[in-house]
Each structure stands twice: as C-alpha cells, then as structure tokens.
Amino acid sequence: MPAITRRTLLALTGAAVAVNPVSADTRASPELQALIAAHEAAYAAFHRVVHRAGSSRDDRERADGVEQEALLAVCSYPAIGRDDRRAKAKYLLAVEARGELDLQEHMQAILRSIMRG
C-alpha cells in the first residue's frame, strides 16, 4: 500500500491548503510558461474543490488527479535553455516548499527531463 502523502490526505479529507501562485519567469519559453500556468490553475481548482461545502471525495480525488497531471507535465518538461532551467527550478522549488513535490513520480519525471534536455 502506498504511503499517505500530504496531498492524498488533503484530497480525501478536504483539509485546508495554502495557495500562493508563483508565476513563471517571463523569460521562460512560451511552452514552459503555459505548463506552469496550467498547473497553477489546476492547483487553484483543487483548492476550491477542497474548500467547497459539500464537495465529495470523488470531486476531491478528480481535482487532485488533474493537478497531479499538470505538475508532472512541469516536472517532465525538458528545459534546455538557461532561462527555462532557471524558471522550472524556481517554480518547482516553490511547489516543494509547500510540501507538494512529494511523489516518487515527480523525481523520476524531473530526472528523465534532464536526460532529454
């Protein structure tokens, strides 16, 4: 059985979660900016579902899944240029500071993206 992460606990219980958007560096490529914006939107939607009165466990799990996919897309992005590497690292450090970069899949995606870059 997989370990219970902070994210899983939030999705299942509807507990509070802090949202502090960290927009992409404007020098980053449009592709990376779009991925980061998509993750920020998915994270905000997850936050709204968690705090919505009457949201079901299924609603929270669905929103969590969408947010996870968006975060994995950022982790997987092969940042080639200096500006993309810097923006990706800065964004992922902010996500990690919230305790959200906690799945094995995150690290695997980041490492694979380095090999592709």
6-35 tens-digit pLDDT: 565 555 555 544 544 455 556 899 999 999
Domain ranges of the chain: 28-116
pLDDT at 1 > cutoff 50 = no
Who wins on pLDDT, 11 or 116?
A: 116
Amino acid letter at 15? Answer: A
| 111 exposure class (CB count in 10 Å sphere: 0-12, 13-18, 19+) | exposed
CA pair distance 68, 100, nearest whole angstrom: 9
- Over residues 48-56, the mean pLDDT reads 92
CA pair distance 113, 107, nearest whole angstrom: 10
The DSSP result for 42-54, as a single string, is HHHHHHHHHHSTT
CA pair distance 83, 93, nearest whole angstrom: 15
Structure-token match 């979660």, residue found: 17
| Structure-token pair, residue 54 | 């009457």
